[in-house]
Amino acid sequence: MSSFRIEEADRPHVIRLAIIWVVLSAIAVIAELLFLHIPPGDQTVQGQDQTNTMLLMTALATPVFIGVVMMVIYSAIYFRRSGPELVDGPPMTGNAPVQVVWITVSAIIVLFLAFVGITTLATNSSAQTVPGQSSSSASGSAGGAGSEMQVQVIAQQWYFTYRYADYGGVETTHLYLPVNRPVELHVTSLDIIHSFWAYQLGVKADANPGVDNVFHITPQKTGSFQVRCAELCGIWHGQMSDAEGQVVSQSDFDTWIAQQQQDYAVIQKVVPSYAPYYFPVPLTKGS
């Protein structure tokens, strides 16, 4: 099995490649872990999970990427043919050590990621849908501090509104969320297909008429976040990108929601009663 041996003349190349690969990979992975900003960030528990998962996969893929590119560049420099080609090279019929290493390393990486994925799915905080725990009836019952707050996201041409089922179904034009309180978002639409994208919250949800699309988030950092529509929905689609939401303290939220209930008390009498979803009202003559 001559293929098991590394030719004497190739040994300096192998050692040099191994050193270059280890050094470059270490520098790149450490730099990624320290400096790379991967969206959506850490404003919600779920967003942080997404960021961590992406960072893990990036860090695992980096040494593979560096190895492949390094081989191409190194070969182009050191194994370049000078002068005209004389004959075909000898046919290559496999290399057992290389194949064993390649298959083993690939299998370990894939199985490790499968393990991470399965354990992540099994934890409640990371899963977007929590079977059996969802209280999607959203009947307007007041939720305690420990329960999930119900917030309905209603898309329409060309803005979002938000209804707080736990606060009498009051409908507002801004999304405020209290920090450290689990939220159950119910995303729906009044007219056509939109997409509710709150990037820093780690939520991108289809907003379809007649559909109640449920997402679970727990904000863990106060501050503003962007809200935009991610589905081309007509001529003023771009208008649906200027909204900004806020994650605030529980006391600030209480003050804000009380103010909203007061401000929208008049409108509240004419908006439809709170429902899991709504259907477009056909336009009739004179309406």
Binding site residues, Cu ion, CB under 5 A:
194, 229, 233, 240
Instruction: CB nearer to Cu ion: give 183 or 243.
Output: 243
181, 217 in Cβ contact below 8 A?
Answer: no
Q: How near is the Cβ of 59 to Cu ion at its closest, in Å? A: 36
The DSSP call for residue 176 is E
Q: How near is the Cβ of 122 to Cu ion at its closest, in Å? A: 34
Instruction: CB nearer to Cu ion: give 203 or 229.
Output: 229
Residue 38: how many other CB atoms lie within 10 Å: 14
Contacts for 216 with CB less than 8 Å, ≥ 6 apart: 46, 127, 128, 129, 130, 148, 182, 183, 184, 185
Q: How near is the Cβ of 219 to Cu ion at its closest, in Å? A: 23
Q: How near is the Cβ of 214 to Cu ion at its closest, in Å? A: 19
Instruction: CB nearer to Cu ion: give 116 or 192.
Output: 192
* N-terminal to C-terminal alpha carbon distance within the chain: 86
Instruction: CB nearer to Cu ion: give 29 or 230.
Output: 230
Instruction: CB nearer to Cu ion: give 137 or 241.
Output: 241
Pairwise CA distance, residues 201 & 227, whole Å? 9
Q: How near is the Cβ of 233 to Cu ion at its closest, in Å? A: 3
Pairwise CA distance, residues 136 & 218, whole Å? 17
Q: Is the peptide bond before 282 cis (omega within 30 degrees of 0)?
A: no
Pairwise CA distance, residues 179 & 250, whole Å? 6
Q: How many helices (H) and strands (E) would you count in the chain?
A: 5, 10
Q: How near is the Cβ of 189 to Cu ion at its closest, in Å? A: 8
Q: How near is the Cβ of 187 to Cu ion at its closest, in Å? A: 12
Instruction: CB nearer to Cu ion: give 185 or 248.
Output: 185
* Ramachandran assignment for 38, one of left (phi > 0), alpha (psi -120 to 50 degrees), beta (any other): beta
Pairwise CA distance, residues 138 & 82, whole Å? 75
Burial class (CB in 10 A: 0-12, 13-18, 19+), 85: exposed
Q: How near is the Cβ of 217 to Cu ion at its closest, in Å? A: 20
- C-alpha angle 238/178/256, rounded to 5°? 80
Instruction: CB nearer to Cu ion: give 127 or 230.
Output: 230
Instruction: CB nearer to Cu ion: give 194 or 216.
Output: 194
